[in-house]
Structure 1
């Protein structure tokens, strides 16, 4: 029986317009009555997830920032902190490259460097981050770094950003999070790590968990559950890693698949 369901957000749970499916509230209520937990698992900041799911704040487990921090009912369950000097080194390693915007992700706030404030791209950035501060430098920040993110507005992150971090491939987790984003975390810090930690804490087996995703920051999560679903619109290598394929996000594939779980008595 499935007892815990994880879902990525962009390109997965949200439709092509970035909206929740209309059937989402009814299916969440059905899961609640069946004792099945739901966990948004995203590269988004916790406060961005909370804005979308405010009415579910006490119900959902929130796996944010690619699994580097997990919260339930407003309390931190666990997190994975990057050593501060290493975080600054990584952030500054591409600081002078035009067209790449650097985001220093702390537990509570994300920080943009004054002078590289991507004002034209702020609407896109605010899809993922809600608590944002523009600073003169990172030296005075006391927030603990959990992720460093890099954004390109031209959907060319695989070509423009990802190769820049080849020197860190062995020592850090460098992941293509979408066509626009590359995320860097501690080695082994990813959604799969968060899923396994939650399984351990809740006494669940992989066979009791399902997960949905569309991009490479979902890769390890696919390997941590039995019911692993790549969306029909997913990045091809993720489809190869998943056991199953769900209909596309435009077709509300996550909702359709969860409804099939219910109909089959799997949860």
Structure 2
């Protein structure tokens, strides 16, 4: 019996225009009535997720910043921080890569040091709390994640510059434009495993959905692991199942209705 449903957002729960399925809220209300917990696991900032799901945040599990932060029913249950010295090195490397913009994700806000209008318009979409600063190395917040916004392609352009850190940190493309760095034990899978223990829910009772490389560890923490029909080949390989529909045809809600509501 499924007791926990966890889904990535971009490329998974929402379509390419960032819209939810017209049946989303009704579907989630129905599974909630059956005692099933709904969760989102995203590279997005917690405050952005809480605002997006405001009407039901009091009963949701949030896994934010690719697993560096998690909360359940408005209560923080996990924080995994990066060491400032490491982040300062990431910033130095990132500043030298053409056509990219460093983004520093803290516990209280997200920080940028570039005022390019297009870049800010994109970051504002993902960050309800955003601050422009003169120097990212002077930010005093608890540091959860360092990201690179890449105008070329995160997997082929920015990633090779940070691949050297993979043995000690989590380095993962989070879409065509984003590359994320977190602590070695901060990823969506580890955060989900921590939440499962807290909630008394097993992998055999968990349903997850994902589409990109930052969802890889999460696929291993659920019996019902679904790669989106539009997912990266490595996610399709890692998952136990593939959705019948892609994200633009609301594949997540379709499978939730089939698996949890027998619809």
| Aligned-partner Cα distance in 1 for 2:149–2:42 | 16
Question: Is 1:205 matched up with 2:183?
Answer: no
Report how far residue 96 of structure 1 moved. Answer: 2.5
* 4+ residue segments displaced more than 6 Å: none
CA contact (8 A) 2:80 2:185 kept: no
Aligned residues between the structures = 262
Indicate the residue corresponding to 1:177 in structure 2.
Answer: 174
Specify whether residues 134 and 263 from structure 1 end up closer, same or farther in structure 2 by C-alpha distance, changes over 3 A only.
closer
| Aligned-partner Cα distance in 2 for 1:108–1:73 | 18
Q: Secondary structure at the match of 1:22?
A: coil
Q: Secondary structure at the match of 2:198?
A: helix
| Aligned-partner Cα distance in 1 for 2:138–2:179 | 25
CA contact (8 A) 1:82 1:186 kept: yes
Q: Which has the higher helix share?
A: 2
CA contact (8 A) 1:212 1:231 kept: yes
| Aligned-partner Cα distance in 2 for 1:263–1:75 | 28
Indicate the residue corresponding to 1:225 in structure 2.
Answer: 222
Measured against aligned partners, the alpha-carbon deviations of 1:196-250 in whole angstroms (never above 9, x if no partner) come to 0011111111000010000000000000111000000111111011000012011
TM-score of the pair, normalised by structure 1 = 0.95
Indicate the residue corresponding to 1:34 in structure 2.
Answer: 34
Report how far residue 50 of structure 1 moved. Answer: 1.6
Question: Is 1:243 matched up with 2:240?
Answer: yes
CA contact (8 A) 1:102 1:151 kept: yes
Q: Which of 102, 107, 118 is the matching residue for 1:120? A: 118
* CA root-mean-square deviation: 1.3
Question: Is 1:262 matched up with 2:254?
Answer: no
Report how far residue 68 of structure 1 moved. Answer: 0.6
TM-score of the pair, normalised by structure 2 = 0.96
CA contact (8 A) 1:101 1:118 kept: no
Q: Secondary structure at the match of 1:43?
A: coil
Structure 1, 8-17 or 131-140: larger mean CA deviation: 131-140
Indicate the residue corresponding to 1:94 in structure 2.
Answer: 94
**Structure 1 unaligned residues grouped into runs of 5+:** none
| Aligned-partner Cα distance in 1 for 2:97–2:16 | 30
Indicate the residue corresponding to 2:60 in structure 1.
Answer: 60
